[in-house]
Structure 1
């Protein structure tokens, strides 16, 4: 297990997006997050959805840590020092997920724990025709175990949380009091209330990033842009993702707005695209970029991710970003001037290394 101060971010990224703002007494962690880690098994190359009573063969298969590990991986590959608090089973799957995150991606797991006798949650994802079908299995960690998130989380520049109606995570308020900038998304409200009053911890957030359907329901509006403006009255920055149309954001303090269209790509698998978008937006915010550049970068990273299969498998690093930008003039239908800020981020001498780190199959050993 790594130690927070010594090993966080030990796998250095080719580009440090925060290099221009780092100072000697900064927090040791750039981004803290907590949640459930799944073992994801992804079947690809299916011609159609599985049919009841038949056997389907997939032409490809990958495995990787999933769940909150999707975002942890996306943040780490963008060069942010990332700390994750999660529960891991003491089975082979738990060992594999720990090793992939800690040694493979450089994610700090010193706030995480291993639960004796508890098996890791598993999700099997089948990707076909740009969609996905998932089957999951898992149990809650034993109730006598402490919560994965410590009540006093590590000191970090930022933290990412998923809000839930009526939910209350004590660590969010504790982190905000220490100056950690809180970024939040939200899931579907199964209660049907769609009441912003149920999201009490929104008061501690710097940025809120729902999708258009969620934003309109919470604000009782019929336009995602109107929803973003309404949310900006509750949180400093509201970002509403518009799917194939891109994203729209409002800075509630300055009144600035920004809208960036989506990059048109052939989407193979949308798994984890929202996590990658969040990672890109957090990166740009911590680096102090203009609002429109943050939206553009988040959209670019998400677009690169959906061209590959899997969640954390497809999260792009700077090699993928540089490769796209180097050949971007091939895409005549893209608004490439919007991404000129990449020239400032990518050193002239930077050459993309090996692309993609998909694991072709499962293999365990002690």
Structure 2
């Protein structure tokens, strides 16, 4: 199946703040961008991919996750890398919650009821991140905590010449009060596994019936030993990239690695970068491979989180494996056409606008469109928004009326 080539305009995040406001559904100037998404949500309810499956005795949350939240500040439109001893001016900037907030936002924008456990500083940055996630995205922060006297971790990202440079600063949050942590009841949880470490909440969640989806970071120890991921035994699915999968399994082919991983976890999904993704379900014997959608990538920050969020959404909704892979790849492709992590996570309106645009293109083979035909029965009725869409570029400092 040929990949679609639909590129977003590169000037999306180059606009000054005034233009960004105009692009954000005509958000009034006296409403902060952190609260603007909540205002829009009240006017236009998001699609619920699990609506047909919901029952009175369901868990209160679709997905639970935990991890550190950063304040991300993104500078765009730099002509070149900053030079020592000089001052560089960026044509655009934005700020948003980052870290685990990228994943939480991606899940919430796809209509999943999302609960997040994180530590927030009691500084203005912490307040901003809380407001953006709770009021802006509708994410439940009940399991989260505010740490007095602890400042929020910060990442500054600079985009130039098709690359990005990031500088981060922060300190590990003080430990929680002693005692076991029990995650809230949820259909699913997303866990980031750490080589050589065990996180007790994962086993507790799995024992309570929560389906755990796991990814993993680079193994700095160089061991690449699956026995060093003890929590994998409690997981429903494992979603490493090709290099990680091959190193953990000692194979030289990512597809062979996916099959080998099913000896340790029921469902293995290996992302192949520009080649798409490959998945194997041990329980059903099903395999699937979907090529990537070709787009003009501006910033890959958070794309992996968006991919996982799309795959979790399709899995909870009971879609066929190939449709889940295709949807995950599509949402990730949409996200890289914008700057920032949580800023770029697409919702159903973005997916609907993309689908409408693709169907309007001339010269497309019917077989190419058939891969995404399942979207037709899922998308909201809204059909009058332009594509590519321009997101508001939030920045700290706007105040609501007193």
TM-score (norm 2): 0.84
Residue of structure 2 equivalent to 1:217 = 247
Which of 69, 72, 77 is residue 101 of structure 2 equivalent to?
A: 69
Q: Is the 8 A contact 1:40 1:124 kept in 2?
A: yes
User: Does structure 1 retain, via aligned residues, the 8 Å contact 2:66–2:191?
Assistant: yes
Deviation at 1:48, TM superposition (A): 2.5
Gaps of 5+ in 1: 1-9
- Residues 154 and 310 (structure 1 numbering): CA distance in 2 closer, same or farther, change over 3 Å? same
31 and 14 in structure 1: CA distance in 2 versus 1, 3 angstrom threshold: same
> Residue 260 of structure 1 corresponds to which residue in structure 2?
290
Matched, 1:363 2:394: no
Q: Deviations over 1:307-330 (max 9, x none)?
A: 000000000001100000001132
Shift of residue 126, structure 1, vs aligned partner: 1.1
Q: Hey, what does 1:41 align to over in structure 2?
A: 73
SS of equivalent to 1:20: helix
Q: Look up the SS of the partner of 1:124 in the other structure.
A: strand
Matched, 1:325 2:355: yes
Alpha-carbon spacing, 1:150–1:320, altered in 2? closer, same or farther (3 Å): farther
Give the CA deviation at 1:58.
1.1
1:19 aligned onto 2:18: no
Q: What is aligned with 1:3?
A: none
Which whole-Å CA distance do the structure 1 matches of 2:69 and 2:84 have between them?
A: 29
Give 1:345's match in structure 2, choosing from 356, 367, 378. Answer: 378
- Structure 2: runs of 5+ lacking an equivalent: 1-40
Q: Distance in 2 between matches of 1:122 and 1:99?
A: 16
SS state of the match for residue 168, structure 2? strand
- Pick closer, same or farther for the CA change 1:25–1:38 going to 2, 3 Å: same
The counterpart of 1:146, out of the listed 169, 173, 177, is 177
Per-residue CA deviations over 1:40-87 (Å, capped at 9, x if unaligned) read 000111223223333222110000000000000000000000000000
Query: Could you say which residue in structure 2 is the equivalent of 1:234?
Result: 264
What does residue range 177-216 of structure 1 map to in structure 2 within 5 Å?
Answer: 177-216=207-246
The Cα shift of 1:169 comes to: 0.9
Deviation string 1:321-342 (CA, Å, 9 cap, x unpaired) is 0000001132757832210000
| Distance change (3 Å), C-alpha of 1:228 and 1:47 | same
Structure with bigger RCO (C-alpha 8 Å, 6+ apart): 2
What is the Cα-based RMSD across aligned positions, in Å?
Answer: 1.9
Displacement of 1:232: 1.3
Decide whether aligned partners of structure 1 residues 233 and 356 sit closer, same or farther in structure 2, where only a CA change above 3 A counts. farther
Report the Cα distance in structure 1 between the residues aligned to 2:163 and 2:313, rounded to whole angstroms: 28
Aligned to 2:26: none
Deviation for aligned residue 1:365: 5.6
Contact persistence 2:96–2:394 (CA under 8 A): no
- Cα distance between partner residues in 2 of 1:242 and 1:50: 32
1:55 to 87, 92, 99: 87
Paired position in structure 1 for 2:196: 166
Residue in structure 2 matching 1:304, options 334, 345, 349: 334
1:111 to partner: Cα distance: 0.4
**What is the count of residue pairs matched by the alignment?**
354
- Report the Cα offset of residue 359 of structure 1: 3.0
Distance between the aligned counterparts of 2:306 and 2:144, measured in 1? Answer: 22
Aligned pairs (5 A) from 1:118-133? 118-133=150-165
